[in-house]
Amino acid sequence: MTGTIFNVLTVVIGGLLGMLFGSRLPEKLRHTVVAGLGLFTLAYGVKMFTQTQNSLIVVMSLLFGVLLGEWLKVEEGLESLGTWLEARFMKNGDGASQARFIRGFLTASLVFCIGPMAILGSIQDGLTGDYQTLAIKAILDGFAALAFASSLGVGVVFSVLPLFVYQGGISLLAAQVQNFMTADMMTEMSATGGVLLLGIALSSLLEIKHIRVGNFLPALVIAPLLVWVVALLGFQLP
C-alpha cells in the first residue's frame, strides 16, 4: 500500500496548499484553473472510452449500474458522509459552506478514485510492491487537489478517506482480483470509467449539467461481470 499512502499524502499537501494560497488567487483565475481541469478530465474520459472493444458492454453497465446505484442511493450516501464530515470538522459553517464542502468532497473523491491508473496501480502495488504507476497518479492528484481546494475548499482534503479505502482495498485484494480479472474485463471497466469521468467533467467541473455521477459507480463492478458472463455463455455481442 506504499503507493496509496503516497497518493494520500500528495492530496493532503496539495489540498492544504490550495486552501492556504487559494484565497490569494483571483476568483476568475481559480475558476479558469478548475475549468482547465474539467477540459482535461473530459478529454481523458473520451480517451478511456474509445479504448472499448464493445460499446454495448459499456452502455449496459451504465444502465444496470445506475439502477443499482439509485436503489442503493450511493450518491446520497456520499453526500451524507460529506455532511457528517462537514458537521464534525466545520461546526461554524453555514448552508453555503456546507454545500461547498460536499461538492469539493464528492468531486475530488470521484476524480481521484475513477480511472485505470487507480485500479492498475493498486494491483501492481499489492502484487509486486511496484508503486510507480500510483506515484505518477499521486503527483497528478496533488496538483489537482491544489486547484480543487483553492476553489472548492477543505472538502477536497477529506477525499483522502474514500481514496485510501478504495485503492488500499484493491491492493490488499490484488491477488484475488488479478486471478479473476482478464484484459478484456479491465478494458471495458476502464471504458466505463471514462464515461463516468465525462459526467464528472460536465457536472462538477464545467458545471454544464448536474449529473448524479455517484449513482453510476456500480457500473465499474458490473462491466467486468458482464464481460465474464458473455464469455461464459459464448455470446457474440455486436
- The pLDDT of residue 94 is 56
Q: How far apart are CA 96 and CA 82, in angstroms?
A: 14
Q: How far apart are CA 150 and CA 28, in angstroms?
A: 12
- The pLDDT of residue 115 is 62
Residue 36 in domain: yes
How much is the pTM?
Answer: 0.74
Quick: pLDDT tens for 196-219.
888 888 887 788 888 888 888 889
| Closest C-alpha to 211, from 191, 192, 196 | 196
Residue 88 in domain: yes
- The pLDDT of residue 56 is 93
For 10, 15, 57, 80, 214, the CA distances from 99, given in Å and listed in that order, are 24, 18, 35, 11, 16
Q: How far apart are CA 172 and CA 155, in angstroms?
A: 27
Residue 238 in domain: no
Task: Tell me the residue range of the domain where 26 lies.
Answer: 2-233
Residues in the chain where the model's pLDDT stays below 50: none
- The pLDDT of residue 122 is 83
Residue 206 in domain: yes
Task: Work out how many domains the chain is built from and give that number.
Answer: 1
